[in-house]
Structure 1
Amino acid sequence: MSRDNRLREDICFWAKSLFDRGLTGGASGNLSARTEDGGLLVTPTGSSFGRLDPARLSRFDATGRHIDGDPPTKEMALHDAFYETRKTTGAVVHLHSTHATALTLLTDTDADNMLPPLTAYSIMRLGKVKLLPFFRPGDPAMGDAVRSLAGRRSAVVLANHGPVVAAKELEAAVYAMEELEETAKLALLLRGTPTLGLTEQQIREVVTAFDVDWE
């Protein structure tokens, strides 16, 4: 099997895994991954993560030209912005997951670091997570908002919409997205109760040990 075909299969495998576990439903969410030749494979617009066809994924060449497959997600601006500003990005995952989205609706959520430091793994896999404003779905301004971060964040959450995570490769992006959603779930479960999150010293130890961008 060629590397391109293997990547197609991997995209469909991980997308179905996310769908089957209820992390995104219906025809929501989109995913992209860098190909060996510098192009992209992207989930098509209006498609369900639960039944993607590897042969119908949107294919872009290294210049950003759509060359094959169904029309891509209308939120390509999000994906392009991460690939442009974080040069190590090999995959981008965007979901409409419930708990991460719910945190954006709370008036006291910290926009600069919306996940409370409850576990070491959320820090290791995500760094600080930026809350971005609401944009109409498909609005190119979403990409501009990501570009304004100048590559400083690997994960953002769009208000009233959902999270977006970039990583070096597809599997890592999926794992980071799962960590984001689980941490958001923890935050909501613990809301209003006395909570022992990580101290500043503990956070710094994790950041230093795992070389996390925490600024």
Structure 2
Amino acid sequence: MTTATISDETRLRDEICRIGASIFNRGLTFGSTGNISARLPSGEMLMTPTNASLGDLDPARLSRFTAEGVHVGGDAPTKEAFLHRCMYCERPKAGAVVHLHSTYSVAVSILADVDPSDVLPPLTAYYIMRVGSLPLVPYYPPGDESLAIAVGEQAKAHSAVLLANHGPVVSGATLREAQYATEELEETAKLHLLLDGHKTRPLTPEQVEALRRR
């Protein structure tokens, strides 16, 4: 392993821990919920381990996986590691994945009257630019193989998915992009719930299409 490679990995380990602390300290996750991963240039993955608080991560103890998804180092991996692998398999340009049990996003995932093909309305330009559209993956128990298959199917066309009664899984080209998209999704879910019962003026289909072309 070259010095440059070691430096890249060290920086990525530190960045995962900084972003985890930021997410935790702002109440976007709690306890030992949520997990973050990032992909090294070699295709290997670093991931927050099982039973770890995102607010108190140790860079040296992050789980390490081969490009094929085999755990080879660090603490025992989260049981939700397969969610990250599903996103990477279908989105080869993804460099990071964030999965949270964030309150407003989970609340929306429990609503009975959402459109499963696109859960949230286009309320803001930044939601469209960072998230795009958000399909709802049906509920499966944590760790169920059927959940992996369902996430993989949606990941072919979407950078973010919402797991019913569970939470969002969001990929990005970089760790920062995945973080910002996850936070934009959570704020849009909050807006959606705050506006319930009020007349709204979402972006028009023409405005949405213009943003997507950009």
Q: Which of structure 1's runs of 4+ aligned residues deviate more than 6 A? A: none
Does residue 28 of structure 1 match 2:28?
A: no
**2:212 matches 1:207:** yes
**8 Å contact from structure 2 (residues 49, 62) kept in 1:** yes
Pair 1:6-2:11 in alignment: yes
Q: Distance in 1 between matches of 2:191 and 2:30?
A: 21
2:127 to 119, 122, 127: 122
Question: So what's the TM-score if we normalise by structure 2?
Answer: 0.95
- 1:45 correspondence with 2:50: yes
Counterpart code for 1:202: Q
Residue 185 of structure 2: which of 180, 199, 207 is its match? 180
Paired residues of 2:62 and 2:74 also in contact (CA < 8 A):
yes
Matches within 5 A, 1:58-77: 58-77=63-82
Task: Please give the secondary structure, in 2, of the residue aligned with 1:176.
Answer: helix
| 3-state secondary structure, aligned to 1:49 | coil
1:189 is aligned to 2:194: yes
Amino acid across the alignment from 2:19: W
Contact 2:155–2:161, Cα closer than 8 Å, also in 1: no
2:119 alignment partner, SS class:
coil
Mind listing any 5+ residue stretches in structure 1 that lack a counterpart?
211-215
Q: Does the 8 Å CA contact 1:75/1:139 hold for their aligned counterparts?
A: no
Residue 55 of structure 2: SS of its match in structure 1? helix
2:3 alignment counterpart:
none
Selected match of 1:101 from 106, 110, 114: 106
Q: CA RMSD in A?
A: 1.1
Q: What are the residue-to-residue correspondences of 1:150-169 with 2, within 5 Å? A: 151-169=156-174
Describe the superposition over 1:101-144 as per-residue Cα deviations: whole angstroms up to 9, x where unpaired.
11111111111100111001111011110111111112232210
- Alpha-carbon deviation of 1:11? 0.2
Structure 1 stretch displaced more, 130-139 or 179-188: 130-139
Any unmatched runs of 5+ in structure 2?
1-5
Shift of 1:150: 5.5
Code of the aligned partner of 1:55: A
Aligned residue pairs: how many?
209
